[in-house]
Amino acid sequence: MTATFNWPVRVYYEDTDAGGIVFYANYLKFFERARTEWLREIGVHQKQMLAEFNAVFVVKATAVEYHASARLDDELRVTVVVEKTGRASIVFLQEVWCGERMLTSAKVTICCVDMEQWRSMPIPKPVLQLIQPALFVNEK
């Protein structure tokens, strides 16, 4: 496990607008894919979390800054860093890079939600135990 998780994304035609650049909202999809793959990498499988704990992660908040544009066929690198965990939430710092150029940066907060009551719940202990090592790597 490294402090920063990297996930490759290629820009497809469907990701772009009429001007041939990535439509701003699609960066949120890139961030989501990278967070999902990070969870999978550390052993958190969301279908299993739902089946065992009746819990899912949902996005609670985003703060995104756009620095430059990605274009059709660009090879991007989406990063994931865990900033902190709370009782029911995880705060991520994420970036999208094209080569050595940062295109977009974001702070994304996800919340663990009970699917029956549709309200926040503590992150299940077995899930949190898989997430915690990522925090310690970032503190070094």
DSSP 71: B
**Look-up: residue for tokens 């902190």?**
84
17 part of the active site: yes
Q: Looking at the chain, how many residues does it have?
A: 140
Given the residues 17, 73, 74, 114, select the one marked as catalytic: 17
**CA distance linking residue 63 with residue 83, whole number of Å:** 14
Residue type, 27: Y
Q: Give which of 62, 66, 94, 92 is closest to 78, Cα–Cα.
A: 94
- Residue positions annotated with a catalytic role: 17
